[in-house]
Chain A
Amino acid sequence: MAGRIRDHDWSTSPLGPVEGWPAPLKAALGICLNSSYPTAVYWGPELRLLYNDAWRPVADDRHPWALGRSAAEVWPDIWHVVGDQFAHVVATGKGLSTFDQMLPMRRGDAVVETYWDYSLTPIFDERGAIAGVFNQGVETTDRVQTTRAQKFLLGFGDLLRAGSGPDVDPDAILHSALDAIGGHLAAARVGYAEVDHGAAPTCHVLGDWRSRPDLESLAGRRYELDRYGEPARGEALSGRVVAVADVRTEERLSGGPVEAFGAIGVVANLIVPIARDGRTFAFLFVNDDRPRRWTQREIDTAQEAADRLQLALSEARATARLRESELRSAAIFGQAAVGMAEVSLHGRFLRVNDAMERLLGRSAEELAAATVEQVTHPDDRAESKSRMAEASATGQSFEFEKRYLRPDGSLVWAVTNVTRLVDERGRPSSFLAVAADISERREAERVRALLVAELNHRVRNNLATVQAIARQTRRTVRDPDAFEKVFDARLMALSSAHDLLTREAWSSASLDEIVRLVLAPYASERPDRIAISGAGVRLSPNAAVTMAMALHELAANAARFGALSVSEGRVDTAWSIDRENEIVAVEWRETGGPAVSPPTRRGYGSRLIERGVAQELGGEARLEFPSEGVIFTFRTPFSEKVAPQ
């Protein structure tokens, strides 16, 4: 610089030719030029600038133009800071030192934040007046920004960690991260987008942060990357950072892309891709609404932040998915209509749902202190235990029907399905038991079995009854034609009694109906010769059958030999209830028939009438044969078989 200063044309400068420079200036300049430290001398009222070689980087692109010019002319961009500092030194005569002073300096087309350590020292002339300022200093931008970036990244890590945990919300993490990045980079907009590769690759902006509310948000939108030019489509999508200081003057951009960026208010653009194997799947973008030269440090910081953000997001999403799936499982577990329980390998209840509590008749708290064995019916314990042991060893699910024991002693049938669960390392951890109450089905099966047995019993007894009728008929009626007639009539009487009982679901039958039904065939021609009267009496099924058969024998006998064999004869059938003595009395009286004489031998009919009725219904039955007509009387106390209605 010494040569340059010497050769400079100072003739038009207020400093005048070098030879005429005052001694203090020469002395100061001497020190300056001999110093290896960045040093400048500002001289005279206008603070004309002289500097050494080490100071040249400070001037940057203002060298060599700045030489000999006034400080205000050289530093219009930072004069609002340094102008006051110069004035202060000149006014007070005291030196000034400042460290990491921020100076928003114009560099190229852009204004950038720069940081400096420097001192301003007054230079006095021979008369003791301040004639200039001696300046030494170095740029500390790099150190300041390094420290800031480190601090930012430390804080960023804390921020992401704070967002994690069981209640993690990926959206909240994204927004607080973008907020932090935007603030740190002092950008206009910062956003995060995921890439959809395809014929026309698009990106989906998951969220963005803006420095001012009037800046448009891109969040939730999809953008076709082709529309933003080759750097966005080609480089960014293959994992390379794209840093554009000014999209309007960037040589790789023109026409459509410039307009596209303009439409979303972007002047400076930084795309930091997150890629795997050279293929970008997401990216962080940083926009500014003024030209901005992206420093390597900013790019590095953005890359570091983007990587960490992507990692935190994917973890958060995995956690959220897991939580959602757990919540869904819990909902299924809790709201299922079937009983569900998680049971330890030793058979302890770990958790149960509401349906299981209802099924077992015990609260979750009670079950927590119980084992499967304790709530299983003693008869099913051995099988339950051995099946669980087998499932534990083999991992095979099993299903079987078992009885559970409720605290009140009642039992409940349930079809129980047991599945062995394993932990994340594949080791058996517990059982999942699902149980559905099948008591109703079991009860229905039991009732059906009873009904089938009862039906079998009835059918067999009926066959035996028919067999008895056939055998007894054959004993007294030898002629085949006569046999058929008598047997058929008896079978019909039996069938009528069954019809009656079936109508009443085999509960009981009314005596009145039995009498009318059995006598109907004989009353059809001459209804007036058969009188039927009596109070309401009900007979049990077997009693009804026997009474019907006895009445049939009486009527058939009357039709062949007695009152119903002649037109003048009649039969009075009457019964009464003696409630005081709890007795039912039945009477069959024939009149107007041929003279009767007692039979020489008792046949099946009379045995059935006398013995059968008494045996089946209880009480006394008597068959008498006065000459006026047959009389049958039957008296029996109230019983399960015979009772007033």
Chain B
Amino acid sequence: MTDRPLSGLRILVVEDEAMISMMIEDMLIDHGVTVVGPAGSVAQALAMLDEEEVDGALLDVNLGGEKSFPIADVLTEKGVRIVFTTGYGESGVGARYPNARTLQKPFRTADLESALAHFPGPRGSGGAPEG
């Protein structure tokens, strides 16, 4: 983390379960990340993306029955890196979004850090995208 600090990144958090989203928020804030959201639904998240620019996103795959893929599609189009969080395992996600990482719930802070490590630096700081 030292060679690519997360500090200053704007990361969208999409998670429909309040207690989990609060935990993720705290994890990110502890790393100096500016949390955008959290959003609990696709509509909420898309509305936020209309308003704000983000450097990356943590997306819960399943949002109370709906899939977060429409959000992922918009993010992919924008070239924003995605980390999916899911209770289902990786099925289906990896094939659809080959550049995205997936975190299985529950995850450790270290897992979150390493998943976010591939994000480019804060907008305009010139981090090279992977892929």
A residues adjacent to B (C-beta < 8 A):
453, 456-461, 463-469, 471-472, 475, 540, 542, 545-546, 549, 604, 607-608, 611-613, 615-616, 618, 640-641
Contacts and interface: CB of A to CB of B under 8 A. Distances in A.
B102 interface: no
Contacts of B1: none
Contacts of B87: 456-461, 464
22 contacts: A457-B88, A461-B87, A463-B106, A464-B17, A464-B23, A472-B22, A472-B26, A542-B16, A542-B17, A542-B64, A545-B17, A546-B17, A546-B19, A549-B19, A608-B18, A612-B18, A615-B21, A615-B38, A615-B40, A616-B17, A616-B40, A640-B64
B125 to A, nearest CB: 30
Given A460-B106, A463-B105, A608 B88 contact: no
Nearest to B85: A464
Contacts, number: 79
B47 interface: no
B30 to A, nearest CB: 10
A608 B62 contact: no
A460 B40 contact: no
Contacts of B62: 457
B89 interface: yes
A471 B18 contact: no
Contacts of B23: 464, 467-468, 471-472
Contacts of A540: 64
Nearest to A471: B23
A545 B20 CA distance: 12
Given A461-B105, A463-B106, A464-B17, 6 more contacts: A456-B88, A464-B105, A472-B26, A608-B18, A615-B40, A618-B40
A612 B17 CA distance: 8
Given A460-B105, A464-B106, A612 B88 contact: no
Contacts of B76: none
A551 B64 CA distance: 22
Contact of A472 (B16, B19, B105): B19
Interface string B9-46: 00000001111111100100000000000101000000
A74 B18 CA distance: 139
Interface-central residue, A458, A465, A466, A475, by most chain B CB under 10 Å: A465
Contacts of B20: 461, 464-465, 468
B39 to A, nearest CB: 8
B19 A608 contact: yes
A456 B87 CA distance: 7
Which 10 A-B residue pairs are closest in the complex by CB-CB distance? A612-B18, A460-B87, A468-B23, A457-B87, A464-B105, A464-B106, A616-B18, A468-B19, A467-B106, A460-B105
Contacts of A542: 16-17, 64
A611 B26 contact: no
Given A456-B89, A457-B62, A540-B64, A611 B19 contact: no
B104 interface: yes
A608 B22 contact: yes
Interface in B45-94: 62, 64, 86-89
B68 to A, nearest CB: 14
Contacts of A604: 22
A608 B23 CA distance: 11
Contacts of B106: 460, 463-464, 466-467
Nearest to B109: A471
A612 B20 CA distance: 10
A461 B63 CA distance: 12
Contact of B19 (A465, A475, A618): A465
Contacts of B88: 453, 456-457, 460
Contacts of A545: 17
A613 B22 contact: no
Nearest to B15: A615
Nearest to A607: B22
A460 B18 CA distance: 15
Nearest to A458: B87
Contacts of A459: 87
Nearest to A618: B40
A463 B23 CA distance: 13
A637 to B, nearest CB: 14
A611 B18 contact: yes
A471 B19 CA distance: 10
B19 A460 contact: no
Contact of A616 (B16, B89, B104): B16
Contacts of B19: 465, 468-469, 472, 546, 549, 608, 612
Nearest to A461: B87
A177 B57 CA distance: 99
Interface-central residue, B18, B22, B89, by most chain A CB under 10 Å: B18
Nearest to A550: B18
A461 B104 CA distance: 10
A459 B89 CA distance: 12
Contact of A461 (B17, B22, B38, B89): B17
A461 B105 CA distance: 6
A602 to B, nearest CB: 12
